[in-house]
Amino acid sequence: MCCFFTALILLGPRMAVVVAWWLNPVRFADAFGGILWPILGIIFLPWTTLAYLIVWSPTGGIYGLAWLWIGLGVVADVAMHAGGGYGNRRRIPGYRG
């Protein structure tokens, strides 16, 4: 777990997901049921993928307040993508603002 949190802090959510995948591939395979969803998650929604992996339970899947953490992951992903667009708004030709 120490390596997981260090990767999260230093390299971001994508590297944390890759490290978690490398450390426990069986949990990854059980949680996602294939390889397509984790790869798409790493590319497009890394915080949501990380939250899903953390709150997923082998006995019951996702239930209760675990959905709140996944929702916060979605909010973090939207903020990450929107923040990049907002920060580079002056580079857009014809933008007045």
Does any domain span residue 96? no
Domain region containing 67: 2-91
Q: What pLDDT does 70 receive?
A: 95
Whether residue 78 is contained in a domain is answered as: yes
Mean pLDDT of 87-96: 72
Which residues does 5 contact at the CB level (< 8 Å), separation at least 6? 16
Looking at the domain assignment, is residue 47 inside a domain?
Answer: yes
Chain segment 4-48, per-residue pLDDT in tens: 666 666 678 888 888 888 988 998 889 998 889 999 999 999 999
29 is a domain residue: yes
Length of the chain: 97
Rounded CA separation 77/96 (Å): 26
How many independent structural domains does the chain possess? 1
Contact 46, 11 (CB under 8 A): no
- Give how far Cα 61 sits from Cα of 2, 19, 41, Å: 24, 21, 18
pTM of the entire predicted model: 0.78
97 falls within a domain: no
Distance from chain centroid for Cα 24: 16
**69, 51 in Cβ contact below 8 A?**
yes
15/94: higher pLDDT: 15
Q: Tell me if 68 is assigned to some domain.
A: yes
Tell me the C-alpha distance between 56 and 46, whole Å: 15
